[in-house]
Amino acid sequence: MRSKLFVPGIRPELFAKALASAADALSIDLEDAVPESRKAEARSEVGRFLRSAEALNSAKLIIVRVNPLASPHFKADLQALQGTAARMVNLPKPQHAGDVLAAVAAMDAAGLAGDTTLLANIETPAALRRASEIAAAHPRVAGLQLGLGDLFEPAGIDRRVPANVHAAMFGLSLAAAEAGVFCCDGAFPDIKDAEGFRAEAAMARALGFIGKSCIHPSQIAAANEIFQPDPALIEQARRIVAAADAAAAQGRAAFVVDGQMIDPPFLQRARRLLLASSGK
Taking the C-alpha atoms of residue 175 and residue 152, their distance in angstroms, rounded to an integer, is 19
* pLDDT at 225 > cutoff 90: yes
Judgement on whether residues 109 and 244 belong to the same structural domain of the protein = no
Full 3-state SS string of the chain: CCEEEEEECCCHHHHHHHHCCCCCEEEEECCCCCCHHHHHHHHHHHHHHHCCHHHHCCCCEEEEECCCCCCCCHHHHHHHCCCCCCCEEEECCCCCHHHHHHHHHHHHHCCCCCCCEEEEEECCHHHHHCHHHHHCCCCCEEEEEECHHHHHHHHCCCCCCHHHHHHHHHHHHHHHHHHCCEEEECCCCCCCCHHHHHHHHHHHHHCCCCCEEECCHHHHHHHHHHCCCCHHHHHHHHHHHHHHHHHHHCCCCCEEECCEEECHHHHHHHHHHHHHHCCC
- Tell me the pLDDT tens digit for each residue of 16-47: 999 999 999 999 999 999 999 999 999 999 99
Judgement on whether residues 167 and 261 belong to the same structural domain of the protein = no
Q: Report the CATH number that the domain containing residue 78 is assigned in CATH.
A: 3.20.20.60
Judgement on whether residues 135 and 257 belong to the same structural domain of the protein = no
Average pLDDT, integer, range 93-103: 98
Average pLDDT, integer, range 215-225: 97
Judgement on whether residues 237 and 206 belong to the same structural domain of the protein = no
Average pLDDT, integer, range 180-184: 94
> What is the percent of the chain where pLDDT is above 70?
98
Judgement on whether residues 176 and 261 belong to the same structural domain of the protein = no
Helix pair angle (231-249, 264-277), 10° resolution: 130
Q: Is the pTM of this model over 0.85?
A: yes
Higher-scoring residue by pLDDT: 280, 145: 145
What is the model's pLDDT at position 277?
Answer: 65
Q: How many domains does the chain have?
A: 2
Helix pair angle (162-179, 194-206), 10° resolution: 40
- Tell me the pLDDT tens digit for each residue of 107-156: 999 999 889 999 999 999 999 999 999 999 999 999 999 999 999 999 99
- The domain in which residue 237 lies consists of 231-277
What is the model's pLDDT at position 7?
Answer: 97
pLDDT bracket for residue 251 (50, 70, 90) = confident
What is the model's pLDDT at position 276?
Answer: 64
Taking the C-alpha atoms of residue 95 and residue 75, their distance in angstroms, rounded to an integer, is 18
* pLDDT at 94 > cutoff 70: yes
Average pLDDT, integer, range 201-209: 96
With b for 16 or more beta-carbon neighbours within 10 A and e for fewer, the 93-114 pattern comes to bbbebebbebbbebbeebebee
In whole numbers, what is the pLDDT of the chain averaged over residues?
A: 94
Average pLDDT, integer, range 200-220: 96
What is the model's pLDDT at position 111?
Answer: 95
Judgement on whether residues 182 and 65 belong to the same structural domain of the protein = yes
pLDDT bracket for residue 253 (50, 70, 90) = confident
